[in-house]
Structures are given as structure tokens and as C-alpha cells.
Amino acid sequence: MTDLSAFPIARAYAPQHPDRLQLYSFPTPNGIKVSAMLEETGLPYEPHLVNIMKNETWTPDFLALNPNGKIPAIIDPDGPGGKPLPLFESGAILVYLAEKTGKLMPQDPAGRYETMQWVFFQMGGLGPMFGQLGFFFKFAGAAFEDKRPLERYAAESKRLMGVLETRLDGRTWIMGDDYTIADLAIFPWVNTVKGFYQAGGITGLDTSANVLAWLDRCMARPASQAAQNIPQRP
């Protein structure tokens, strides 16, 4: 049996199946990405709920796994060379799992890099901007008297939505005919804008026919549906 005792996180979240990939997460957009990826690939895994509402990502045990104090993070007991691999950052995890399984990533080098550029588009632009928009549109930021932050993030979110709308023109998926980690990286954030933030109007999503149709296709996948509550919400 695999021994994960060297990882402090294993003390706080004792694995029942240490031979399986260990997922430490919460069903936010970034968490859903990795849960959906694991469901799509069929890799055996054990999910652990890290309750961000109780600041559990800032405990010493979790920070030993991810010093940035964010979900998701994983430990793969069967990492490169057969050694356990701890990994954080959802984009890095998606790339790692795609390469480990040979799934959801084109095999040719050009297609691989093109896919990763759209993952990084989400990581560096769409995700951070949508997240800031959510704060200023839905949460405490909505009460700020100065509306310039909301206007800035709304404008940039609308621009990014336009980039996605253009990319999906005539395409089933972001990479064309094949569903990839590019779709997995982006759809949870777009779905959050539509549902949880209820910001479809201010971001241009409500009038982005290509994006809306693509989102419906993403959300119709069984893995996407299951991931909405993996790990199970408290």
C-alpha cells in the first residue's frame, strides 16, 4: 500500500485509498475543472473537501501542499518514476492529467501547444477577470460607491467573452471537433458567470450565441454534471 505519511495534508485528510490520486478541492470554478477532468479520464481518485468557507486552505497542513493557499491541489501516488507527486494550480493539473492519461489533449505538438494557449488564456485572463467581476457585481464590492472597478472588470470580461465567441464560431469545441482541457478549463467559469454571478447581461454572455451553445454542450456531459458537487458540498 502506498505510504503518503510524508505529506502533512494526509494527517488532516486521512486517505481511505492511498493508492488512488488524492484530490483536495471545493466545487468552485477552479475546483470543478479538475473534478471534471478526473471524471472524464476515469482515473481512480479520492476527493477531500477543503472548506474554503472555513479558511481551511490556510492551515499549515494545506499550505505544505500548496503554499499559495488555494484549491485545487492533488497528490498522485503514481507520479513520474512511480513516486508520489504533489501538484497545485488547476491549469498545471489539467496538463499533467492529460499527459498522464493521453486523453483530452491533441497528440501532435502543434495541436498540443494550441490547446495549452487556450488553457493559459483562461488562467491568465478569463478566470481572474471573471472572478473580480463577481466580487464587484455580486458580492461586497457591489456596495462600493466608486463604480470604476466594476466598470473596468465588466469591460474586460465582455472583451474576453468576445474573444471566446469569435473562437467558437463554426466550432463544436474550442479546438474544433475534439473536447479538450481547453474546454474543461473555461466552461466552469462561463457557467459561473451565467448562473451563480447572474452576470450574463453585463458580460455580453446573454448575446453570445456561440458561447451559450458551447456551454450547453459542455454542461450536458455527465462528467461536467457530476463535477458540480465533487467534493460534495458541506
Query: Phi-psi category of 45—alpha, beta or left, where left has phi over 0 and alpha has psi -120 to 50?
Result: beta
| 60 cis-preceded (ω within 30 degrees of 0) | no
CATH class of segment(s) 9-103: alpha beta
Cα–Cα distances (Å) from 127 to 47, 120, 205, 234, in that order, read: 23, 10, 15, 24
Amino acid at 115: T
Identify the weakest region by mean pLDDT among 141-145, 151-155, 166-170.
Answer: 141-145
> Which residues does residue 48 pair with via DSSP β-bridges, in sequence order?
24
Q: Which fold has domain 109-224?
A: Glutathione S-transferase Yfyf (Class Pi); Chain A, domain 2 (1.20.1050)
Closest listed residue to residue 190, CA positions, set 102, 107, 117, 130: 130
**Looking at the predicted structure, is the pLDDT value of residue 1 above 80?**
no
pLDDT tens string 9-22: 999 999 999 999 99
Residue predicted with more confidence, 143 or 51: 51
Helix (H, G, I), strand (E, B) or coil at 196: coil
Domain map of the chain by residue range?
Answer: 9-103, 109-224
**Looking at the predicted structure, is the pLDDT value of residue 100 above 80?**
yes
Same fold, 9-103 and 109-224: no
**Looking at the predicted structure, is the pLDDT value of residue 156 above 90?**
yes
User: What pLDDT score does 143 carry?
Assistant: 85
Q: pTM here?
A: 0.96
